[in-house]
Amino acid sequence: MDRKASAKQLFFFSVINYIGTAIGILSVMFIYPKDLAFIGTIRYIDSIAQTIFPVMVLGASHALIKFYPALDEKHRRQLFNYSIASVSAISLGVLLLVITVGHFTEYENSGLLYYAFPIAVSLAFIELFKKQAQDLQRIAVPTLYERIIPKIVLPLAFLLLLGHIFSVQESILVYVGGYGAVFLLTAIYLFKRFRPGFNYRFKTLFGTISRKDYFRYSLYSFAGSLGSLLAFRIDGIIIPEFISVEANGIFSNGVTLASTLQIPAVGMFALYAPIISSYLQNHNMKELDMKYKEVARLLFFIGAVLYSCIFFGINDLFSLLPDSDKLQGSVPVIQILGFSVLINMATGFNGEIITYSRYYRFNLIAVLLLIVLNVGLNIYFLSYTGLGIIGVAYASFLSMTLFNMAKLAFIYKKFGLLPFDAKFLQLGIIFLLCGLGVYYLPDTRSHLFNLVYKTGLSLAINVIVAYRMKLVWQLNRWVDKILPL
């Protein structure tokens, strides 16, 4: 596919992510607080499914990307068929394990495993189909199904429950059915464009690629994927076990809102990934260093502007909403996790530099470090402090910060690169001084006025000063295009 078509796919990919996020934010503010126990249960089921499905995939989806270019059309179809066969076989094994846990153990929430399993199977095949679609440069439509349908189905299940039309179990089944719909629609879309046939004799496939190399790469990819999910999804499993599903609902609402900060970073990393890979392959460290600093400064600016608005406006915004008393509990979580996302953005594309270099195995070490830190800190805060979900947020913040610091130190040691420069420091000082100034301004009796004047003032000062000092060249270019002098 040509560059114009690829850019079009990337554009639609970004738009779809923003639409899905907008639906999620509206649901968090107006629907989910009406039954925190139900949203907590859903998030618990979802966390279990997200943990199980990498086991079913076992790195097969990443192997499709890795080995696809080296194969002819016949062996590409065989590789895809082999991936389907392996995911199906492992899924049956996982089902037997779920039945064993459900019938022969005293696990309190074993009944929820039967809801999580079909979601996990759907996610496993969706992941596989998406990677094949990525090989075909057809990622926008599968992303539309994956990002939008569950975001619509979950509020629908809520409304059916709140309207006393469906029971809790029936509403959960609606949510499960949403993932089944994504699975079917993605399959239909893919198989209209790619016909793998039914050749399940794989001897010729592994005569073309090394079986040893295939399984080594698949297992490495599986370990990395599972590690990342354990690190980022463990909160949704630990909170119901240590506190309650209601607390899990409050925490998940905070996670949803805090994660909106990182949307610009996701698109930016996708855009720069091929460029980073090219610089590393050509040993162009000078250009890589320049882009590393440039992108980190831009993402820090965007993240800090958004975080400032959230920090100063979230309390007043929630006070204006119908279920403000139920939303207020997530404010500290949003502020802590939002700051964690800001740090992640400020460190730039450090993960991509490691991934596309010959030191890619370090990512697995870093993820394992993150798992140990996150699980250990979660257990500590929940067992030895009375902070509750705020402690979980602190655990996530500390582990993610140390995770990013470890990657920064590794990149500096191996490449001599850092994402920070004098302009980055100047930006940090501007945001700090502006934040302190706005924070100590007096509040009025009107939540709406406080929301507008504090967030507006913070936004205006930070943007104007950064523009006048020319600290972010992309900002100056955008402003000059919109307001030509």
Q: Does the structure show a pLDDT above 90 at 271?
A: no
Percent of the chain with pLDDT strictly greater than 70 = 91
Average pLDDT estimate for 278-283: 80
**Cβ atoms of residues 48 and 248 within 8 Å:** no
Distances (CA, A) of 460 to 64, 303, 317, 475: 47, 15, 19, 13
- Alpha-carbon gap, residue 361 to 418, rounded angstroms: 20
CA 273 to chain CA mean position, Å: 17
CA atoms of 70 and 462, how far apart (whole Å): 50
Residue 400, token pair as written in the block: 């993610």
State how far the Cα of 190 lies from the Cα of 188, in Å rounded to an integer.
6
C-beta of residue 196 within 8 angstroms of C-beta of residue 77: yes
Angle at 312 between CA 307 and CA 314, to 5 degrees: 85
Range 12-36 average pLDDT: 81
For 120-178, the DSSP string reads HHHHHHHHHHHHHHHHTT--HHHHHHHHHHHHHHHHHHHHHHHTTSS-HHHHHHHHHHH
Question: SS3 letters for 202-231?
Answer: CCCHHHHCCHHHHHHHHHHHHHHHHHHHHH
Mean of the pLDDT values across residues 356-374? 79
- Which structure tokens are listed for 411? 């990149």
- Higher pLDDT among residues 322 and 85, named by residue: 85
Helix axes 389-415, 362-384, angle to 10 degrees: 150
Q: What percent of the chain has pLDDT over 90?
A: 33
Query: Between the ranges 34-43, 62-71, 323-332, where is the mean pLDDT highest?
Result: 34-43
Report CA torsion sign: 57, 61, 63, 68.
positive
* Cα angle: 38, vertex 315, 467; to 5 degrees: 120
Give the whole-angstrom CA distance, residue 176 versus residue 113.
12
pLDDT at 1 over 50: no
Q: What string of DSSP letters covers 74-101?
A: HHHHHHHHHHHHHHHHHHHHHHHHHHHH
Written as one string, the DSSP assignment of 298-341 is HHHHHHHHHHHHHHHHHHHHHHTSTTHHHHGGGHHHHHHHHHHH
* pLDDT for res 270: 60
* 107 Ramachandran zone, left/alpha/beta (phi>0; psi -120 to 50): beta
Tens-digit pLDDT profile for residues 167-206:
999 999 999 999 999 999 999 999 988 887 776 677 777 7
Q: How far apart are CA 137 and CA 2, in angstroms?
A: 10
> Minimal CA–CA distance to 84: which of 185, 189, 217, 200?
200
**Percentage helix, strand, coil, to 5, in the chain?**
85, 0, 15
pLDDT digits (tens, 9 = 90+) for 325-334: 888 888 999 9
Q: Identify the band that residue 485 occupies on the pLDDT scale cut at 50, 70 and 90.
A: low
Higher pLDDT, 357 or 112: 112
Q: What mean pLDDT is predicted for residues 441-452?
A: 90
Q: Are 42 and 119 in contact (CB under 8 A)?
A: no
Provide the pLDDT for residue 92: 95
Residue 39 has pLDDT above 50, yes or no: yes
pLDDT of residue 105: 75
pLDDT of the residue at 224: 65
d(CA 23, CA 147): 10
Kindly report the average pLDDT of the chain as a whole number.
85
Q: What is the mean pLDDT of residues 363-384?
A: 84
Q: What is the pLDDT of residue 348?
A: 86
User: Of 26, 470, 440, 44, nearest to 241 (Cα)?
Assistant: 44
Q: What is the mean pLDDT of residues 99-112?
A: 79
Q: Is the dihedral of CA 144, 146, 149, 155 positive or negative?
A: negative
Looking at the predicted structure, is the pLDDT value of residue 2 above 70? Answer: no
Res 132: pLDDT: 85
Between the CA of residue 88 and those of 211, 274, 427, 446, what are the distances in Å? Answer: 19, 33, 51, 58
pLDDT band at 370 (very low <50, low <70, confident <90, very high): confident
Does the predicted TM-score (pTM) go above 0.85?
A: no
For residues 57 and 485, the model is more confident at 57
Burial class (CB in 10 A: 0-12, 13-18, 19+), 71: middle
Name the token pair of 387.
Answer: 């902070």
The token pair that represents 41 in the structure block: 């249960």
pLDDT tens for 411-423 read 999 999 999 999 9
Q: Is pLDDT at 5 greater than 60 in this prediction? A: no
Q: Is the pLDDT of residue 221 over 80?
A: no
